Amino acid sequence: MKILLFANTEWYLYNFRLSLAMALRDAGHEVLLVSPPGPYGEKLQALGFRWLPAPMQRLSLNPLRELALLWWLYRLLRNEQVDLVHGFTIKCVVYGALAARLAGVPARVSAVAGMGYVFISDSAKARLLRPLVRLLMRAALDGRNARLILQNPDDVALFEQARLVNPQRIRLIPGSGVNCQRFVPRAAELPAGEFRVVLPARLLWDKGLAEYVQAARLLRAEGRALVFQLAGEPDAGNPASVPAATVQGWVDEGLIQWLGHVDDMPALFQSVNAVILPSYREGLPKGLIEAGACALPLVTTDVPGCREVVEDGVNGLLVLVKDAAALAAAIARLQDDPDLCARLGQAARAKALAEFDERIVIARTLDVYRELLGEV
């Protein structure tokens, strides 16, 4: 069969869906990867995949440009005779599924990982777009040849309450999976002294960057030996992106170390004491799961997506969203209690192995394909 995977960045395909693409290829299927252009397209091609750059601008609201993208996708699907389209993130889900429906593609799978800017933000732009996006989602996601994959129970409830899709066509699969043979606990203890934490994410306000920096400011005022790191880059395609100049200002103030893009995430996780994600809402945060697989204690917010990964007091600590003081207190608690860190980290590793290993996620994704197409 020919299966098309469509995402809003080639970075997403490489970092989140490469294992799925490889599993499909290993099973004898033809895999076509589509995203807007970017440097990871060449990396995908170097691995032997067909990757096509889509004429898509993530922030575009120009009706003519959006119709041109839909037409481009329609023609691509017709010319390629694709059997199944699997879209990721809201814009790609909507456009990919609409084009597939129009082109008569036999099967449509849509994966919504988190609700995205349109549903999270309170900005006037987001509120204006919300009704239109809901209308398009209803048209794109439903139908007997379609399945919607969601990553946490809160999103399932939200879609059911909003009547965006027939509940019988929703499947709950926890995230995109993590390679638990690559993300492993460190071999030796870190040197005593500074307690080092990292926030690994795209640099977006709704990842809780403001609260993270404020927690650093509060704990520095206490005279604690702490190092706060940021691993990630601004995302110009997202309206919630934090400007690089703002991040550099935090660096100049001595509050954080900014690592930028990090290729070797296992090595980074093995160099820190804990991982922090004070996000406002997630689908299922892969960075937390990767860190958990490395047996690190986790601190995150009690919000959809994050609380599916972290159980408070079991494999990490949950704090109230947008509460920098509570975040600072949780980090200080870990710094003061090495035994707690070890216990939480061991439980985080066990949970990653039992629930989030990529082999589990890929198998469940292929089960969804089989529902629609038969043997895959």
User: pLDDT by residue (tens digit) across 3-15?
Assistant: 999 999 999 999 9
pLDDT digits (tens, 9 = 90+) for 96-129: 999 999 999 999 999 987 555 566 567 777 777 7
pLDDT at 271: 97
Secondary structure of the chain as H, E, C letters? CEEEEECCCHHHHHHHCHHHHHHHHHCCCEEEEEECCCCHHHHHHHCCCEEEECCCCCCCCCHHHHHHHHHHHHHHHHHHCCCEEEEECHHHHHHHHHHHHHHCCCEEEEEECCCHHHHHCCCHHHHHHHHHHHHHHHHHHCCCCEEEEECCHHHHHHHHHHCCCCHHHEEECCCCCECCCCCCCCCCCCCCCCEEEEEECCEEHHHCHHHHHHHHHHHHHCCCCEEEEEECCECCCCCCECCHHHHHHHHHCCCCEEEECCCCHHHHHCCCCEEEECCCCCCCCHHHHHHHHCCCCEEEECCCCHHHHCCECCCEEEECCCCHHHHHHHHHHHHHCHHHHHHHHHHHHHHHHHHHEHHHHHHHHHHHHHHHHCCC
Mean pLDDT computed over 136-143: 79
Res 84 pLDDT > 90: yes
pLDDT band for position 137 (cuts 50, 70, 90): confident
Q: Within 10 A of 332 (CB to CB), how many other CB atoms are there?
A: 17
Do 195-356 and 2-177+357-373 have the same topology in CATH?
A: yes
Q: What is the pLDDT of residues 266-307, one digit of tens each?
A: 999 999 999 999 999 998 999 999 999 999 999 999 999 999
CATH architecture designation of domain 195-356: 3-Layer(aba) Sandwich (3.40)
Q: What is the pLDDT of residues 318-335, one digit of tens each?
A: 999 999 999 999 999 999
pLDDT of residue 120: 59
β-bridge mates for residue 85, sequence order: 4, 108
Each residue of 339-367: pLDDT tens digit?
Answer: 999 999 999 999 999 999 999 999 999 99
pLDDT confidence tier of residue 141, bands split at 50, 70 and 90 = confident
- pLDDT, mean of residues 81-87: 97
* Stretch 13-31: mean pLDDT: 96
In this predicted structure, the answer to whether residue 219 has a pLDDT above a threshold of 90 is yes
| pLDDT of residue 63 exceeding 90 | no
Q: Specify the pLDDT at position 135.
A: 77
> Mean pLDDT across the chain, nearest whole number?
92
Q: Which residues pair with 357 in a beta bridge?
A: 178
At 157-203, the pLDDT tens digits run 888 887 778 889 999 998 889 999 999 999 888 888 899 999 999 99
Domain 2-177+357-373 has CATH 3.40.50.2000: yes
The domain limits of the chain are 2-177+357-373, 195-356
Q: Structure pTM?
A: 0.86
